[in-house]
Amino acid sequence: MARILITGASGLLGLNLAQETMNTHDITAVDRGKLVNAPFKVLNGDLLNTGTLDSALDSAQPEWLINCAALADLEACENNPDLSRRLNIDLPAQMAKACKARGISFVHISTDAVFDGEKDGFYTEEDTPNPLGVYSQTKFDGEQAVFAEDANAIVARVNFYGWSLSGRRSLAEFFHHNLTNNKSMSGFTDVRFCPMLVNDTARTLIKMLQKNLSGLYHVVGPQAMSKYQFGVEIARRFSLKESEISPKSILSSNLTARRSHNLWLSTHKLSTALGESLPEFSTGLDEFFTQYQQDYPQKIRSYAL
């Protein structure tokens, strides 16, 4: 049983990571007041305030720190680049420095969006990123800042879906909510990505720490698909009307922040390091469906005000 400190604990990954590991590890989570009924230890505080990080480390005495804190809303990053830099670059660098000084294994969560999507095939960890916007640029700069402070850190580029505290944080929830309420929606046919169930992401991160890995890894699903196809798969698994999802090009959207068309990432490096294949998309989708049947979304939402 390891002592783990999780930052960004009310976010989609942070919350599911804490939920996934609380019975097998000693979990302390850092949150800014959203979690009030969580079944794991929660420290309230804003990590951007001086002293909060050191206080959390002193209190939790973690062996591992997994940083899920970020400004991940692409439009919000475009509108507030200074906050994006503080959360996505400066804070991770501070964490990496503190972890190295204290002998704590550090995992920093990055994103597949660091690539511009112009490549025809898949991206490996050796490919050079070319961020398209404030979010992707600050996340890429955050990767470099982390490694500058702690060369033995893990940086995980992710793309995940699952049930969140608000019910509106993941693409899967977007499709499920609209489909169950008989609302028509669009799905991009020209944006390709590699979705992974967030619980699989959590379990994979723990395996990486247990194997004492370090460096840059793509922690995404092994199967690439369009966002339209992802929506169709959600509809089919939940026996909902896939005809409510209209195929659409991202070029015709009114989104401010630029998006990459191709975020197909190779997971060969990670599966080789772990000595096992990463969970298939169909397996994750089955678990996502089972969680819904077992009222998992309602359970995690009960942790908040």
The string of pLDDT tens digits covering residues 38-76 is 999 999 999 999 999 999 999 999 999 999 999 888 889
In this prediction, residues 95-106 reach a mean pLDDT of 98
Of 3-12, 82-91, 101-110, 296-305, give the lowest mean pLDDT range.
296-305
- Residue 253: predicted pLDDT: 73
> Domains of the chain by range and CATH?
3-301 (3.40.50.720)
Q: Which amino acid is at 125?
A: E
- Residue 166: predicted pLDDT: 87
Nearest residue to 48 (alpha-carbon basis) of 9, 89, 87: 87
In this prediction, residues 104-120 reach a mean pLDDT of 95
Rounded Cα distance between 192 and 5, Å, is: 33
Strands 105-111 and 64-67, by their bridges, are: parallel
Place of tokens 């420095």: 97
Longest distance between any two alpha carbons in the chain, whole Å? 55
- Residue 305: predicted pLDDT: 67
129-171 pLDDT, tens digit each: 999 999 999 999 999 999 999 999 999 999 999 999 988 879 9
Rounded Cα distance between 162 and 196, Å, is: 9
What's the burial of 81, exposed, middle or buried (CB within 10 Å: 0-12/13-18/19+)? middle
pLDDT interval class at 197 (50, 70, 90): very high
Q: How many CA atoms lie within 13 A of 128 on its CB side?
A: 1
In this prediction, residues 115-126 reach a mean pLDDT of 94
Rounded Cα distance between 137 and 144, Å, is: 11
Q: Which amino acid is at 62?
A: P
